[in-house]
């Protein structure tokens, strides 16, 4: 038993291949732990996945069946001989808009076998108009059974489909991408690494930036001296109490200097004002 990697132990769930309406090559699919957190991605570009989600810790965790990824290609839902998925915007203007009927049909297929309760299965449209993605949102998604992500292209999607499916809009920042695929990978990366067993060292998700409202303290490793720069002495002291205090102080100083918005929230939570008074 001792040579069994911890993630592959039976207590984590039964391996099974789940039914999938799309005739994909199941042989190439990683094994799937029953009930594993699953991302269903509606996209015109399924080849963009798993992309960065296929490497390193997340890739390994997916191979072990700790989470799963399914793409739903928008193209086969297209209309007519050319399988058109988009059309010109009502009211005129530049660009093209993804059709409500096409996107609706793909989302209906994605919904098969998923809970209707949006708390158990969020449905998200990646969009620059959305709520800015935060660590708290990633924590909420990680606690669901899985989620559906809709990747837009062109000018976006017909508004009616967003209303019809009770879709939450999420942005990865105040800039405009050409499509939602990269944004979906950002959201999934931030979420999946919070699923128990995915990160090797569970502690690293507790202490990092944004988990406690502060930015992380600076990190150092070998060599002890580099280009005439030494590692701060306290970190070499072996005195855990002093090290903790130093790290916390650096976290606070960095947050205060770089992110006044986070700093104000942090102080409010602590019931303090900026001069340190309670
Ligand atoms: N016309 C739209 C932008 C479309 S960009 C607007 O002005 O709001 C094309 C697609 O890229 C979008 O449908 C969305 O899925 C994705 N996208 C672009 N910027 C994004 C961002 N900041 N966050 C998340 N998704 C984004």
The minimum-distance atom of ligand 1 relative to the CA of 157 is 13
Give the pLDDT of residue 27.
54
What band does 200 get if pLDDT is binned at 50, 70 and 90?
confident
- Please state whether the predicted TM-score (pTM) of the whole model is above 0.75: yes
Residue 210 has pLDDT above 80, yes or no: yes
* Contact by Cβ (8 Å): 166, 118: yes
Which residues on neighbouring strands pair with residue 97, listed in sequence order?
Answer: 87
Q: Kindly report which listed range (18-22, 89-93, 147-151) carries the lowest average pLDDT score.
A: 18-22
pLDDT at 30: 76
- Give the C-alpha separation, 205 to 215, whole Å: 13
Q: In which band, very low, low, confident or very high, does the pLDDT at 19 lie, cut at 50, 70 and 90?
A: low
Who has greater pLDDT, 16 or 232?
Answer: 232
Average pLDDT estimate for 253-263: 98
More confident residue, 98 or 35: 98
Cβ neighbours, 10 Å, residue 13: 14
Q: How far apart are CA 40 and CA 184, in angstroms?
A: 10
127 in ligand 1 pocket by Cβ < 6 Å? yes
What pLDDT band is residue 201 in, cutting at 50, 70 and 90?
confident
Instruction: Please compute the mean of the pLDDT values over residues 241-264 and round it to a whole number.
Output: 98
* Mutation to probe ligand 1, out of 152, 155, 172, 181 (largest number of atoms < 8 A from CB): 152
**Mean pLDDT score, 142-156:** 98
Atom 23 of ligand 1: nearest residue by CA position: 171
Average pLDDT in the chain: 90
Alpha carbon of 178 to ligand 1 centroid (Å): 7
Atom of ligand 1 nearest to the CA of 179: 11
The DSSP H or E segment spanning 136 is helix 135-143
Task: Spell out the residues 6+ positions from residue 167 whose beta carbon is closer than 8 angstroms to its own.
Answer: 123, 124, 125, 150, 161
Of 93, 123, 128, 185, best ligand 1 pocket probe by most atoms within 8 Å of the beta carbon: 128
Average pLDDT estimate for 221-243? 98
Q: What does the pLDDT read at residue 277?
A: 57
Kindly give the pairing relationship between strand 225-226 and strand 229-230.
antiparallel
Q: Which atom of ligand 1 is nearest to the CA of 172?
A: 23
| Average of per-residue pLDDT across 15-33 | 59
Q: Compute, in angstroms, the gap from residue 54 CA to the centroid of ligand 1.
A: 23
What's the whole-number mean pLDDT along residues 260-274?
93
If one residue of 177, 182, 190 were mutated to test the ligand 1 pocket, choosing by the most ligand atoms within 8 A of its CB, it would be 177
pLDDT at 1 over 50: no
**Ligand 1 mean position, distance from CA 185 (Å):** 14
For residue 252 and ligand 1, the question of a CB distance below 6 A is answered with no
Which range, of 34-38, 219-223, 271-275, averages the lowest pLDDT?
A: 271-275
pLDDT exceeds cutoff 60 at 90: yes
Residue owning the nearest CA to atom 3 of ligand 1: 155
Does 32 score more than 50 pLDDT? yes
For range 16-45, the mean pLDDT: 74
Q: How far apart are CA 197 and CA 4, in angstroms?
A: 14
Atom of ligand 1 nearest to the CA of 125: 15
Q: Is 183 in the pocket of ligand 1 (CB under 6 A)?
A: yes
Q: How far is the CA of 225 from the centre of ligand 1 (A)?
A: 45
Task: Please check the confidence at residue 24 and state whether its pLDDT lies above 70.
Answer: no
Which pLDDT value is given to residue 202? 61
């Amino acid at each position: 038993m001792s040579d069994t990697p911890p993630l592959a132990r039976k207590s984590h769930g039964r391996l099974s291949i789940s039914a999938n309406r799309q005739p994909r090559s199941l042989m190439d699919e990683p094994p799937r732990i029953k009930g594993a957190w699953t991302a269903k991605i509606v996209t015109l570009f399924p080849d963009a996945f798993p992309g960065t989600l296929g490497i390193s810790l997340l890739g390994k965790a997916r191979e072990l069946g700790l989470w799963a990824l399914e793409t739903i290609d928008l193209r086969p839902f297209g209309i007519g001989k050319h399988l058109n998925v988009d059309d010109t915007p009502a009211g005129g203007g530049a660009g093209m808009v993804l059709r409500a009927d096409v996107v609706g049909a793909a989302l209906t297929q994605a919904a098969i076998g998923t809970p209707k309760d949006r708390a158990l299965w969020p449905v998200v449209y990646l969009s620059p108009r959305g709520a800015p993605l935060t660590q708290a949102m990633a924590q909420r998604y990680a606690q669901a059974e899985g989620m559906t992500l809709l990747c837009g292209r062109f000018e976006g999607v017909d508004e009616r489909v967003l209303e019809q499916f009770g879709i939450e809009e999420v942005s990865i920042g105040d800039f405009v991408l050409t499509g939602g695929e990269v944004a979906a990978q950002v959201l999934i990366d931030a979420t999946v690494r919070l699923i128990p067993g995915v990160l090797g060292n569970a502690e690293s998700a507790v202490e990092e930036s944004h988990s406690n409202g502060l930015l992380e303290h600076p990190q150092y490793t070998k060599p002890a001296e580099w280009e005439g720069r030494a590692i701060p002495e306290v970190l070499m002291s072996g005195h855990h109490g002093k090290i903790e205090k130093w790290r916390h102080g650096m976290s606070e100083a960095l947050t205060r200097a770089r992110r006044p918005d986070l700093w104000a929230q942090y102080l409010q939570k602590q019931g303090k004002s900026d001069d340190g008074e309670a």
